[in-house]
Amino acid sequence: MIKGRITRVSGPVVVAEGLGGAGLYDVVEVGSAGLSGEIIRIDASGATIQVYEENTGMKPGEPVISLGKPLSVALGPGLLGKIYDGTQRPLEELKAASGSFIKAGVKGEPLSMDKKWPFVPALKAGEAVGPGTLLGTVQETQLTVHRVMAPPFTKSGKATRVAPAGDYTLRDTIVETDAGETLRLAHDWPARLARPARRRLPPTEPLLTGLRVIDILFPMSKGGAAAVPGAFGTGKTMTQHALAKYCDADIIVYVGCGERGNEMTEVLTEFPHLVDPRTGRSIMERTILVANTSNMPVAAREVSIYTGITIAEYYRDMGYDVAVMADSTSRWAEALRELSGRLEEMPAEEGFPAYLPTRLAEFYERGGRVETLGGAPGSVSIIGAVSPPGGDFSEPVTQHTKRFIRCFWGLDKDLAYARHYPAISWIDSYSEYADELAEWWDRKEPAWREVRLKALELLKREQRLEQIVRLIGPDALPDEQRLVLITADLIKNGFLQQSSFDPIDRYCPPEKQVLLIKAIMEFHRRAEAAIKGGAPLPKIVALPIRERLSRLKNEVPNDKLDELRGIEAEIAAVFEELQRQYRAEVSR
């Protein structure tokens, strides 16, 4: 340990002397209370430290101790179901130790070092051991088997001793090698360092979310990166809640970075009571929460993103598909801006530091689908909320984020105020994964590619016609164009809009999604043919089948899709009867 003393205090940024032997990004204990901090700059004037706890009252002359290691995340059994702050302090344990308000300098073990876990070895003495080797398994929760892997820094060698099946604590040695390695159930990993993998894999499998506007129109792949930008009140947090609840990732890491306390409280109180729709068990059995609200120290907000993504990479290395919800990267960028100002760095656009694009790139690049060191495929999908002031998508955080993501779900305040949920704009949003995912959809639901393109084309035609309607009214349009407006309205209300409170509609499986949009597009095709055949539009609009199409999403249970498979034949029969009646009227 290297000892020094504080010479200057500027909010969460502290300058100390006497730490000449310390390294960049080393963890330090600052002040008489021993607050956690990290060295972020070393020069002739001393070491600059960002403090991760409230340091009101700190003054020059107080001691500083460097622990000689970088800020690290403890990785091992026991992470699932836990609630941490930005520096991986367990909040439930801190509450038990200090009450509802965390006292300065209070520490907590991220993982229980005394709890025993049932370990089942996966190798024998004499077998090769190296980075990523599967050492054994632990049943971490009822939903998740924890695959104990040799850490990436493990030296290659052969196992000389393997612990037999039994109960072990995180301190116990489970494997010894001839390279002098002693491997345990848990290890530490630097939070700012990406965990290695053998190679990156193409994004060929979708991350299914149960939200129709995403899965059909703007799909995301497992291992992809997406942004959810929107003004205040447009539903960014609620959209991420829905994705965390219903997406088909194996593990969820939810990072509340700088959000309001009431929103994070809702997550903390609601998630433990949620039931996983796939297994019927508590969703917390596959979820880790990192909570760092807006009233918590700004420096800890900056590091919370790295804590969350490191935990996600750890489960990815086991061969799991992990989804990271970062809410929100704008608050994280604001923390960077505040710390940059304290460091007296030259500001760039809107006061953000010049390295903002680099930090965003480093974060989003830690996502991806990879072949792990152990040889299994795994993925980290990143979904970051962005909170542009006033909903201005031209501000720096949104613009730089768009450079590093391939899926953009822009939220529209007009849709949100009209109670259209999710308020994802079908005009501003886009997905660059659609072509790569088309082969997967062709195997599962061959109609996906065609109906997706037709629906997007029709919605764009409707947008162009809306401009004309504002000038001359809908009655001036020919019937073919008025039909576009009617079908687009049917798509928006009968397909894209989804109720998170409806027990049927809050989650929609892929097969049902395709059946619904196929039925609507079949209605449009038949109606278009009927108009060309001379049938009047008012009679088409009056058909009961049109109203029924808008209610199918709520009326047909997800486990009774046979009721939807005959809907296209029913639409065909309705229009054949309409045309028969029209021909009979004309002949009279």
Domain assignment present for residue 437? The answer is no
Residue 82 lies in a domain: no
Tell me if 77 is assigned to some domain. Answer: no
Strand arrangement, sheet containing 166-168: 145-149, 134-139, 117-121, 166-168
CATH of the domain at 63: 2.40.30.20
Cα–Cα dist 453/290, whole Å? 38
Same domain, 513 and 375: no
CATH code, domain with 416: 3.40.50.300
**Residue range 435-488, pLDDT digits in tens:** 999 999 999 999 999 999 999 999 999 999 988 888 888 888 899 999 999 999
Question: pTM for the full model?
Answer: 0.93
Average pLDDT, the chain: 91
Is 170 part of a structural domain of the chain?
yes
Determine, yes or no, domain membership for 478. yes
For the segment 177-192, the average pLDDT, to the nearest whole number, is 94
Of 160, 185, 210, which residue is a domain's last?
185
Structure tokens at 3: 């000892």
- CB of 258 closer than 8 Å to CB of 293: yes
pLDDT for 587: 72
Q: Is residue 435 in some structural domain?
A: no
With respect to residue 177, please indicate whether it lies within any of the assigned structural domains: yes
Residue where a domain stops, chosen among 396, 429, 462: 429
Same domain, 488 and 535: yes
Instruction: Name every residue whose Cβ is closer than 8 Å to that of residue 22 and which is 6 or more positions away in sequence.
Output: 2, 28, 39, 42, 47, 66, 68
- Whether residues 252 and 178 share a domain: the answer is no
DSSP 221: B
% helix / strand / coil in the chain, to the nearest 5?
Answer: 40, 25, 40
Are residue 329 and residue 244 in the same domain, yes or no? yes
User: What's the rounded Cα separation, in Å, for the pair 195 and 200?
Assistant: 13
Nearest-angstrom CA–CA distance, 531 and 544: 17
H-type helices in 297-433, by residue range? Answer: 298-316, 329-342, 356-364, 396-404, 413-417
User: How many CB atoms are closer than 10 A to CB 13?
Assistant: 24
Q: Are residues 155 and 223 in the same domain?
A: no
User: Do residues 371 and 452 share a domain?
Assistant: no
Q: What is the mean pLDDT of residues 299-312?
A: 92
Token duo for residue 146: 């924890």
Q: 549-571 pLDDT, tens per residue?
A: 999 999 999 988 988 988 999 99
pLDDT over 80 (residue 586): no
134 and 7 inside one domain: no
- Asked whether residue 403 falls in the same domain as residue 278, the answer is yes
Look at the chain and report how many structural domains it folds into.
4
Q: Mark whether 223 and 319 lie in a shared domain.
A: yes
CATH code at position 140: 2.40.50.100
Q: Both 174 and 227 in a single domain?
A: no
CA distance 63 to 14: 12
Write down the number of H helices and E strands in the chain: 17, 26
Residue-wise pLDDT for 321-353, tens only, equals 999 999 889 999 999 999 999 888 999 999 999
For residue 561, being part of any structural domain is answered with: yes
**End-to-end Cα distance, the chain:** 101
Region 64-90: mean pLDDT is 93
Place 265 in a pLDDT band, splitting at 50, 70 and 90.
Answer: confident
> 588 falls in which pLDDT band (50, 70, 90)?
low
**Residue finishing a domain among 134, 154, 185:** 185
Q: How many CB atoms lie within 10 A of CB 32?
A: 13
Domain span including residue 53: 2-70
Q: Are residues 207 and 333 in the same domain?
A: yes
Where are the strands (E) in 344-448, listed by range? Answer: 368-371, 377-386, 407-408, 430-431
Residues 5-57 have pLDDT tens digits of 999 999 899 999 999 888 888 999 999 999 999 999 998 889 999 999 888 89
**Maximum distance among all alpha carbons in the chain?**
103
Task: Please say whether the beta carbons of 552 and 494 come within 8 A.
Answer: yes
Residues 331 and 478 in one domain: no
Tokens 């219903």 found at: 246
